[in-house]
Structure 1
Amino acid sequence: MTSRTDCFHCGETLSPESFPIIYRNIEQPTCCAGCQAVANTIIQSGLESYYSQRDQPADRAKPLPDELLAQLHLFDDVSLQASFVLNVDADIREASLIIEGISCAACIWLNERHIQRLPGVLSASINYSTHRARVRWDEREIQLSTILQAVAAIGYRAQPYDQAKQEEGWQKQRKSALFRLWVAGLSMMQVMMFSVPIYMSKAGEIAPEWLYLMHWASLILTLPVVLYSATPFYISSWRDLKRRRTGMDLPIAIGVLATFIASSYSLITDHGEIYFDSVSMFVFLLLTGRYLEMSARRKAGAATEQLVKLIPAFAHKIDAQGTIEVTVNSLQIGEQILVKSGETIPVDGIIRQGSGEVSEALLTGESLAISKSAGMQVTGGTLNLASPLHIEVSQVGENTRLAAIVRLLDQALAQKPHLALLAEQVSGWFVSILLITAALAWLYWHWHDPIHALPIMVSVLVISCPCALALATPVALTATTGHLAQLGLMVARSPALETLAQISDVMLDKTGTLTHGEPRIQQYITSHASEENARAIAASLEAASAHPLARAFLMPEAPLAQEMQTYPGGGLSGLVNGELYFIGHPDFVNRQCAMLMPEAIRQAEGSIIALASSRTWLGAFIVADTLRDDAAASIQALRDAGLRLHLVSGDSNATVQALALNMHIENAVGRATPGDKLAYINTLQQQGRRVLMIGDGVNDAPVLAKADVSMAMGAGVDVAHAAGDMVLLNNQLDRLPKALALAKKTRNIIRQNLIWAIAYNLAALPLAVTGQITPWLASLGMACSSLLVVLNALRLKGKF
């Protein structure tokens, strides 16, 4: 058994009773049965590497009481899961959980692997910044309560994700950083009160006993900085060393400790220079830079995280007695709720009573309010601006559209683009070179001018820390992702932003992409009835029809016609206000009406829906799929940007060619199958072209997956969303040129950041090695360099 006096698992003082465990063939003590059980579970699961990777001891483990274990089984209830569990398939579930007790990257590693090893668990991923976990499992093999118990068995707590708790964690982190900064700042001011008179006075002007006392006071005042304020640098450095790598905080930790220890030795032996003021000053400056950087990075990602906050906690449920206040999580599909003017709609649903305007600005980026009436769908997280609405619940919790968007964001933020990975690798090598350079600088100056060896070594370590290099890419990408979210464009895969700036060709589907994807009445050919009256009669007749063209006539308030009769290949008939009417193909209607077909209807071209009674003609409608309002301007903007455009659609060749001619699209192909589309994009890519594909249907999913960058329309099917790198939530094509321009601006800013970071380090290192820069000035330069990179990246959040 080892001679250690603290618990191997949690680090607390051992109790008189022994609770040993075996770790790598060595007996180690734990403080209680809880820590013993947790440690044994971790080791027996084959995850003992956690103990060599972690930054700090775990929280003390306490066995779950029987009543809490019983409560965990309540989470298997389907109604309780509605708010945080998504039904991916018949038996596949995905839960959004928050893991409590996570303190470092090793905790993430431990939880992910422990959960993934459970039979029936398909995947598990945890976001380090939010501690939000996405766990997918097969309901036939494992229950959610078993997963929660498995997490508890290794000393952590898992429960439904709560944004309020995540915010509480951020505030705790912010307060801790501020307090460390306050301690360092107070120490710096007090130490400088003693140091400035020493610097300002002439040699021998201050009596030796007073000089000695002032130095000792400086040491005591610097202790809180070294032992408390600078601990994040030590923890991070120790974590990296245990993983056999050199991190960005290692030079800082070495610089702080080396300067303090050398200064303390000089004071005790009364030989050498003393730099307590430099220690407190550059720790204060570094912490100031880190705090500003942390705040700026949180600000950069705020646009994406705010989506989680959109859904309110309570709703007004309508029952037989009126309305009652209930939690949103308790609502069931089919129930009705009242959403008052100015309130946020808490669920996806269908308006059953009332009409007004709804703002989808925070969700889709559309600034204009959208008119809504009975029968129309509304989305959770949008804002009711006008009159009260009675809404029937169709989706709640993890099945809502907003929850799907948040899942896309988690997926995007979990991936690291190529430039970010490259910067991390370069930073690691640079730190190793920096440590060697600092050691060589110390040796050189120790031989030639020993009094300057230590401050020059510290300056080298601090001023050339590659923090700016590591921040150059991720902060810019985070800011861009947030800006695109405000425009209504969700990035599902972060690496796509790099490629988006390099595309040379844009390949578009027609139906549902350039067009609305649904039939609309383009023209009314009048005969013996007003358009308003004819539309009302047509809506009553078509209300019961399943024909795709019938959707063009839908009117929620239209009454259903009586004695409906269908004529296959011809049309419909029915009684409206006691009179018999016929609607359908002009030839069919002509055979039913006593009056001859008007010449204007006979000569019309396109999809013609005729309407007549048995006695007289009312008129006819030309129905077609219409272009989106912003399609022409968006296509022109893409062409002006120098991109080659391709229209590849499954519609008839004549229709596709006519649309391409009208939109000035150079390349067009009709009657294209999914295989044809794949072959088309393969040909472009073999020519060295970088292709952006935009589509919406099931038939577009293969080519979306094949494209260099793919964008799915928000109104498209789920399989298209899954295949796309981005999702255009508001279906507004005018966002596309803005996204392309923003991607290019992002690439330029990343390049600017990388060039600045490299140039700064190359320029600063020689100055530090030659003794031109003092340690406190070095810390100021490093902090300002990192902050400059972050502020430059935040330009991507502004109006564009």
Structure 2
Amino acid sequence: MTADVTCYHCGLPVPDNTDFQVAVLGQRRRMCCHGCQAVAESIVQNGLEGYYEHRTELPQTAEELVPDELRQLELYDHPEVQKSFVHDESGELLEASLILEDITCAACIWLNERHLQQLDGVVMASINYSSHRARVRWDDKKIRLSQILAEIRKLGYHAHPFSAQQQQEVREHQRRQDFRRLAIAGLSAGQVMMVAVAFYAGPAQGLEPATAQLLRWFSLIMTMPAMLYSAWPFYQAAWRSIRRGHVGMDVPISLGLITGFIGSVWVTLHGDGIVYYDTLTMLIFFLLATRYLERHAREKSIEAAENLHRLIPPMATRLDENQQPQIVPLHDLQVGDTLLVKPGETIAGDGTVLQGISQVDESLLTGESRPVPKSLGDHVYAGSINYESPLQVQVGGVGEQTVIAGIARLLDRAQAEKPRLARVADIVAVYFTTILLVAVVVIGLVWWWIAPERCFEIILAVLVVSCPCALSLAAPAAFAAAGSHLVGRGVLLTRGHALESLAQVRHIVFDKTGTLTMGRPRITAVLPYGDAQREDVLRLAASLEQSSEHPLARSFTEMVNTAQRLPVLDAGNQPGKGISGEINGERYYIGNAALNTNVTYPEPPVLPPGSSLVWLSNPRRVLAAFVLADAMRPGVGQLMASLKERQIMVSILSGDRASSVQHFADVAGITSWKSDLTPEGKLAALREMQQQGNVVAMVGDGINDAPVLAGAQVSFAMGNGTQMARASGDIILLGENLQEIDHAIATGRFTVSVVRQNFTWALIYNAVALPFAAAGLIAPWMAAIGMSVSSLIVILNSLRLR
């Protein structure tokens, strides 16, 4: 042993002939073993070196070798802890919703996203600038959640699992802190400006040098709180940007503040010259005021999205095995539990009604104001409110498995994905800031040669007046406000490009069943063939259709209750054709004639306009034909008239028979339509339209619509459609009102118009202000006001979209 050398981490003697070292607090420190070396490296790599500075004694046990902060992060790896905020993606990938603290600008978002995406095992990391919420998807076999949180901590930010209540608490804390910094900056600016009046009037009123020097020192003292406390977030953000080699908008701000302050302190110490304490405090005050208003506007823009998370109650009434009610916390609910939902209460989980008849308010989910009737077998969703009488609900999904959680994930994805205009603005802002810093050096050298006494003043004015705050806010503020507006109307944007693409749409393609029609056709005739009986063929058909999500399936399952249906083996769905399965040892087919080509089909009956024909057969013969009819959705005619006014072409692409498609096309006033299309045929027809140079939007709801929804430049999925269709859609209509499609297009066009107005204003302002500041025609205090007003104009213009 080396008696005089102890382990820097645990304090035990360092054995001879070992060389375990870690760089801690700027020095190489010796460790006694691999374990201490690994723990010390973890502490250093996670930015927790302060542990060594502040510890008062050495750890006595192995448990104490790791700081509490790291151990707390490891708790988030526990499956029970993750249940409330982690979503299981396909059994292989995990996805978590996190809150990020200390985010100040778009550069912070870029820094975190880029760093996390470089980690081995992290598949996706996207951060919503408006809500500071992060969506992170990772492979748990390669990286743990605690490691991801530690990597964020290493960058200087704090992340923790999202909860609506916690987010509100964080937001309130941030708001109080922002207001405190703003108040201190305002007090400093007020005091310093009063002294500045004496400097401005001094030459005319005979201000004595000794008095002037005393006022300089007073101004310095009053400036210190604003410089050291109120402006601290600017310095932090600038330092993070510089460390990562990324020039953010806080870099020129910090340079301006530090340059002006150092120059003013120099003048104060030497007792002669111009000081800029008034300009510095005004700049800090106006910057903080602008950011305070911007944060408030941003929070307003995401209120509709946040309301989704506040819908779920923290407690629920669960029935035990003796059917006795007991109040339990939300995280104790399990799939299969039975809930008692009294009138006026909010449903805590997705599920199926076991007992009771009532009306349920789903307006905050769908945008529809009318209550929805619910009875035995109907689905209910977490966050909806029971109105009339008690319901017993069997839980089918809780936490991250509910429909409302899925909507929230889609909303987060849309807000985190940056539209093209926003990405362009970020790139322009980075280049502009870099060019600005180069220009400051050149301008400073020129003025040092021409008039050294004005050099600090000019550099300060140029740095302040040209900060690209307004440019960076131009697109995010507008898109956030528009997204919030549409969510409130039951239109959910799930992709970042959706609004921008909507503004360019010139052709809309509709599916028919479940889109233009109600999607709930009814069986109007049952035609058995041979010795088949009506009840038998209905039972076979309902048994086959019970595994299908197609809108036609419900028409059969509603005719036969669950107890009478037969078990089906080896069920298979062929999109665009139908379903086959084995019942009691025999294969059966239900769908169109293309599904079973081994039998001879009888002459089809004459169908009423708008009706469809479904065949039931086995491998030997046709057993029955079913005639189904659907109804047009309300408001279709109104929608078509609105689209025609906007000079948007409309077409129908459907897999139904020509007679049915033509009937509905004639009723809706649509002249362009195609029928009997497979999913591949729909996609080919869409590609043909796109080749003509049109930006095409697709509206659909079924499994066979998924390829064409994904292939369109922008797509609408009906909220009551299949899960696959919703996953493929860029926009989800949560309600039944098709008029929202026209409103979404109008909002998209208005949004792009507002973004362009913001860009134009920001670029014109910087193009005009920079030369004037460089020429010495704008004083630093005027630059501070101009920059703040420029950002405020952008924010107020964007709020028109709400």
Pairwise same-fold verdict (TM > 0.5): yes
Give the secondary-structure state (helix, strand or coil) at the position aligned to 2:520: strand
Partner amino acid, structure 2, of 1:655? S
Pair 418,152 (structure 1): closer, same or farther in 2 beyond 3 Å:
closer
Contact 2:465–2:770 (CA under 8 A) maintained in structure 1 = yes
Larger deviation, residues 215-224 vs 739-748: 215-224
Q: Which residue of 1 aligns with 2:662?
A: 657
Q: How far off its partner does 1:288 sit?
A: 0.9
Matched, 1:675 2:680: yes
1:429 alignment partner, one of 428, 431, 442: 431
Contact 2:304 2:487 in 1 (8 A): yes
Shift in Å, 1:20? 8.4
* Inter-partner Cα distance in structure 2 for 1:86 and 1:433: 44
Cα offset, 1:76, TM superposition: 3.3
Q: Secondary structure at the match of 1:481?
A: helix
Secondary structure at 1:517 match in 2: coil
The structural deviation recorded for 1:102 is 7.7
* Residue number in structure 2 paired with 1:76: 79
User: Which residue is equivalent to 1:590?
Assistant: none
1:338 aligned onto 2:340: yes
| Residue 572 of structure 1: aligned partner | none
Structure 2 CA distance for aligned equivalents of residues 41 and 68 of structure 1: 12
Q: Determine the C-alpha separation between the residues in 2 that align with 1:706 and 1:468.
A: 35
Give the superposition deviation at 1:385: 2.8
Seen in structure 2, the aligned counterparts of structure 1 residues 99 and 553 have a Cα distance that, compared at 3 Å, is closer
- Give the structure 2 partner of residue 716 of structure 1: 721
CA distance in 1, matches of 2:503, 2:53: 46
TM-score (norm 1): 0.78
| CA 148–255 in structure 1, closer or farther in 2 if over 3 Å, else same | closer
Instruction: State the AA in 2 paired with 1:117.
Output: D
1:498 positional shift: 0.9
| 3-state SS in 2 of match to 1:627 | coil
Assess if the C-alpha contact under 8 Å between 2:410 and 2:494 holds in 1: yes
Percent of matched pairs sharing the same residue: 40
- 1:289 aligned to 2:290? yes
Give the letter aligned to residue 670 of structure 2.
I
CA distance in structure 2 between the partners assigned to 1:252 and 1:85 by the alignment: 39
Q: Where does residue 763 of structure 1 map in the other structure? A: 768
Name the SS of the counterpart of 1:518 in structure 2: coil
Task: Work out whether residues 184 and 284 of structure 1, in 8 Å CA contact, stay in contact via their aligned partners in 2.
Answer: yes
What's the offset of the Cα at 1:339? 1.8
Matched letter for residue 234 of structure 1: Y
Q: Does 1:112 align with 2:113?
A: no
1:274 maps to 2:279: no
CA drift of 1:421 comes to: 1.2
Aligned-pair RMSD on alpha carbons? 4.4
Distance 2:783 2:799 in 1: 25
- Residues 179, 395 of structure 1: alpha-carbon distance in 2 compared, 3 angstrom cutoff: same
Equivalent-residue separation in structure 2 for 1:456 and 1:71 (angstroms): 52
Deviations 1:598-625 (A, max 9, x none): xxx999885799xxxxxxxxxxx98512
Q: 1:16 to 1:330 in 2, by over 3 A?
A: closer
**Cα separation, 2, equivalents of 1:222 and 1:257:** 12
Deviation readout 1:41-100 (Å, 9 max, x if unpaired): 489xxxx7x98xx9x9999997267997999599335xx7654444443x3353425478
Distance apart, 1:368 and its partner CA: 2.3
Contact 1:542 1:550 in 2 (8 A): no
Matched, 1:96 2:96: yes
1:706 corresponds to 2:744: no
Worse-superposed segment, 498-507 or 657-666: 657-666
Aligned to 2:219: 218
- 1:117 Cα deviation (Å)? 2.5
Q: CA deviation at 1:130?
A: 5.8
Q: CA deviation at 1:746?
A: 0.2
Residue 491 of structure 1 aligns to which amino acid in structure 2? L
CA deviation after TM superposition for structure 1 residue 757, in Å: 0.6
Shift of 1:727: 1.5
Alpha-carbon distance in structure 2 between the residues aligned to 1:665 and 1:705: 23
User: Retained in 2: the 8 A contact 1:72–1:149?
Assistant: no
CA contact (8 A) 1:102 1:131 kept: no
What corresponds to 1:353 in structure 2?
A: 355
User: 1:576 maps to which residue?
Assistant: none
**Alignment CA distance shift 1:219-1:356 (3 Å):** same
- Distance in 1 of aligned mates of 2:123 and 2:244: 28
Q: Is the contact made by 2:192 and 2:219 (CA closer than 8 Å) also made in structure 1?
A: yes
- Distance in 2 (CA, whole Å) between partners of 1:640 and 1:40 is 66
* Structure 2: distance between partners of 1:306 and 1:287: 28
Aligned equivalent of 1:63, options 62, 66, 69: 66
CA contact 1:96–1:132 (8 Å) conserved in 2: no
Within 2, Cα distance between the matches of 1:35 and 1:693?
Answer: 60
**Aligned residue type for 2:375:** S
Confirm or deny that 1:643 pairs with 2:645. Answer: no
1:338 alignment partner, SS class: strand
Using the TM superposition, give the Cα deviation of residue 709 of structure 1 relative to its aligned residue in structure 2, in angstroms.
Answer: 0.8
For the structure 1 residues 132 and 39, does the alpha-carbon distance in structure 2 shift closer, same or farther, using more than 3 Å as the test? Answer: farther
Matching residue within 625, 631, 634 for 1:629: 634
Tell me how far 1:284 sits from its aligned partner.
1.0
Unpaired runs of at least 5, structure 2:
1-7, 56-64, 527-533, 546-551, 567-604, 615-625
Residue 308 of structure 1 aligns with which residue?
Answer: 309
Gaps of 5+ in 1: 1-7, 525-536, 565-600, 610-620
Code of the residue aligned with 1:75 in structure 2: it is H
The residue aligned with 1:397 is 399
What is the CA–CA distance in structure 2 between the aligned matches of 1:679 and 1:214, rounded to whole Å?
78
Cα distance in 2 between the residues matched to 1:291 and 1:172: 13
Is 1:513 aligned to 2:518, yes or no?
A: no
Asked if 2 retains the 8 angstrom alpha-carbon contact of 1:64 and 1:152, the reply is no
- Name the CA distance, whole Å, in 1 between partners of 2:681 and 2:606: 37
1:754 aligns with 2:759: yes
Deviation at 1:318, TM superposition (A): 1.9
**Are residues 70 and 298 of structure 1, via their aligned partners in 2, closer, same or farther at CA, if it must alter by over 3 Å?**
closer
Alpha-carbon distance change, 772 to 148 in structure 1, aligned in 2, over 3 angstroms: closer
1:488-547 deviations in Å (ceiling 9; x for gaps): 1211111122111001111111111111222237899xxxxxxxxxxxx99xx9899547
- Counterpart AA for 1:258: T
Task: Choose which of 385, 388, 395 in structure 1 pairs with 2:387.
Answer: 385
- Residue 198 of structure 1 corresponds to 199
Distance 2:607 2:191 in 1: 94
User: Does structure 2 retain, via aligned residues, the 8 Å contact 1:112–1:125?
Assistant: no
In the other structure, the counterpart of 1:238 is 239
Q: Which residue matches 2:171?
A: 170
- How many angstroms apart in 2 are the aligned matches of 1:413 and 1:352? 37
- Structure 1 residue 439 corresponds to structure 2 residue 441: yes
Tell me the SS of whatever aligns to 1:647: strand
Q: SS of the counterpart of 1:516?
A: coil
Say which SS state the counterpart of residue 342 (structure 1) adopts. Answer: coil
Instruction: List aligned pairs for 1:448-487, cutoff 5 A.
Output: 448-487=450-489
Comparing 449-458 with 100-109, which one deviates more in the overlay? 100-109
Distance 1:757 1:32, change over 3 A: farther
Q: Which moved more, 1:307-316 or 1:198-207?
A: 198-207
How far apart, CA to CA, are the structure 2 residues paired with 1:317 and 1:376? Answer: 19
1:468-495 Cα shifts (integer Å, max 9, x gaps)? 0111011111111111211212111111
- Give the aligned partner of residue 533 of structure 1: none
Counterparts of 2:651 and 2:195, CA distance in 1: 73
Contact 1:38 1:153 in 2 (8 A): no
Q: 1:191 touches 1:221 (CA, 8 Å); kept in 2? A: yes
| Cross-structure match for 2:496 | 494
Distance 1:17 1:68 in 2: 26
Cα distance, 1:686 vs structure 2: 1.3
CA drift at 1:642 = 0.8
- How far the C-alpha of 1:793 sits from its partner, in A, is 0.7
Among 405, 418, 440, the residue aligned to 2:420: 418
Q: Aligned AA for 2:652?
A: L
Aligned residue type for 2:332 = S
Alpha-carbon distance, 1:216 to partner:
0.8
